[in-house]
Amino acid sequence: MLDDQLRRLEEFLQGWDIVHLEWQERRGRNTVGMILTHLAIVETVWVHIGGGGKPVAREARVMATLGTGLDSAGIPLRKKGRHPANLEGRTLTEYLAKLERSRAETRHQVATWTDDDLRLPVEAYGHTFTREWVLYHLIEHFAAHFGQIAMIAHAMRDRGIEAIERRET
């Protein structure tokens, strides 16, 4: 399911360039580039936690997988409310590469989990989760942000931003 969502998102974003990835409806709103970075980081963090990794090691796992820190997510927004400077000029290819690296880590980690492992408890953020919940959360999180990206595309189209065609989501 995660791979299907990623494939659909890649198809949806085909042909987008930097102006689309950095566009904000207004100050304080997320850009598509911020959301794509956020998706890659969150997936890496939750799969690390689901695999028994300690939350204190999140930053190290994200750095090892994506070559970026947690502060690169862009979400929550910086005080200025603009597209983060550390994401400026990034191409769709660069964002998708981060998502692919994150997904490769997910595949690698999840391949070791048995059906019985899905019920194993994992501790994070002061709560107890199961690996099954982690996978479910990753799907719902990805799908929710995909919907957010579709809404941003509608807003761009409504404001006459060129090259955003009507797409099915």
CA distance 125 to 155: 35
Cβ–Cβ contacts within 10 Å for residue 154, how many?
Answer: 14
pLDDT tens digit sequence for 32-79: 999 999 999 889 888 988 888 776 676 677 777 777 766 665 555 555
Which has the closest alpha carbon to 92: 149, 45, 48? 149
pLDDT tens digit sequence for 127-161: 999 999 999 999 999 999 999 999 999 999 999 88
Q: Which CATH architecture does the domain made up of 2-158 adopt? A: Up-down Bundle (1.20)
At 7, list the tokens: 């494939």
- As a whole number of angstroms, the longest Cα–Cα distance in the chain is 52
Taking residues 81-104, what's their average pLDDT? 91
Q: What pLDDT is attached to residue 164?
A: 64
Q: What pLDDT is attached to residue 26?
A: 87
- Identify residue 154 by its one-letter amino acid code: H
Q: What pLDDT is attached to residue 12?
A: 96
Q: What pLDDT is attached to residue 79?
A: 52
Between 22 and 26, where is the model more confident? Answer: 22
